[in-house]
Amino acid sequence: MANTYIKIKDKEIPAIIRNYRHINSIKIYFRGNVLNISKSKYVSKRKMLEVIKQNEEHIYEQYLKIISKENDKMKHWYTGEKISYKGEDFYVQIKYVSKKRLKIILDEKNKRFMIEIPEILENQDNKAIIDKYVKRFLCVKTKEYLEKRLPYWSQKMKIEYKECKVGDATSKYGSCIPSKKVLHFSNRLIMLPEDKIDAIIVHELSHMIYANHSNKFYQLVQQYIPNYFEIDRWLKKNVKKVMI
């Protein structure tokens, strides 16, 4: 998390400044959209800002590229935009209605993801509120799916669990606490094809037996999902499909 902001041209760029004893130069680099600055504790803030000013054009160009890529991944919620549901493309349809609350309607037959927005919000930037409702909707649908599919794999693998929780994780699709027999899954799970969801479920259940990613762990996973590594490559390659 950024601990400050540095103004470069027209942008307030989030930044993290770290001071070290044993470092001779000032290192400036991006990690995500955050500018990281590593410097000697003896280098003044004034000197640091001078170095940043000297590299202003390069830093600015890098930041614009990063922001552009991030925007490409995000949903902007306009009619005709696509959203993935169970691995299939559904078309977003925005409709302004006289109702007071935002509502999401899933038309699986026609592959439409309809979002009804109160008319009073028509001339506003509604991305934040739509994001909130979509995440909540995906959470419900993911829970419904897991309620059916998780017991199937638990019985098939003869691996028990006590609790399953669904949250808004973006860095991983699932996690496991073997000592408590608790499984955690991302609400974005329902956006994936069903065979990919199965692979993630099997992966997390296998962690009940092997907490690490040892050879024995992967042997157990592949016992039930023979093409697991192929699926894992697909998940890494298609991460944009589950961005909101």
Structural domains present in the chain = 4-73 (no CATH), 82-134 (no CATH), 139-242 (3.30.2010.10)
pLDDT tens, 62-110? 998 888 776 666 788 989 999 999 999 999 999 999 988 999 999 999 9
d(CA 234, CA 40): 42
The pLDDT value given to residue 70: 67
Work out the number of other CB atoms within 10 angstroms of the CB of residue 77: 20
The pLDDT value given to residue 65: 86
Closest CA to 178 of 206, 148, 149: 206
Residue whose token pair is 């935009």? 81
The pLDDT value given to residue 240: 78
pLDDT tens, 138-178? 999 999 999 999 999 999 999 999 999 999 988 789 999 99
The average pLDDT across 217-239 equals 95
Cα dist from 176 to 39, 158, 164, 166, 173, whole Å: 38, 16, 9, 12, 11
Strands 34-40 and 82-85, how do they pair?
unpaired
pTM for the predicted model, two decimal places: 0.72
pLDDT tens, 108-127? 999 999 999 999 988 888 88
E strand map for the chain: 4-8, 11-20, 27-31, 34-40, 82-85, 88-97, 103-107, 112-118, 163-167, 174-177, 182-186
146 and 189 in contact (C-beta within 8 Å)?
yes
pLDDT tens, 43-62? 999 999 999 999 999 999 99
Work out the number of other CB atoms within 10 angstroms of the CB of residue 14: 16
Closest CA to 83 of 131, 150, 121: 131
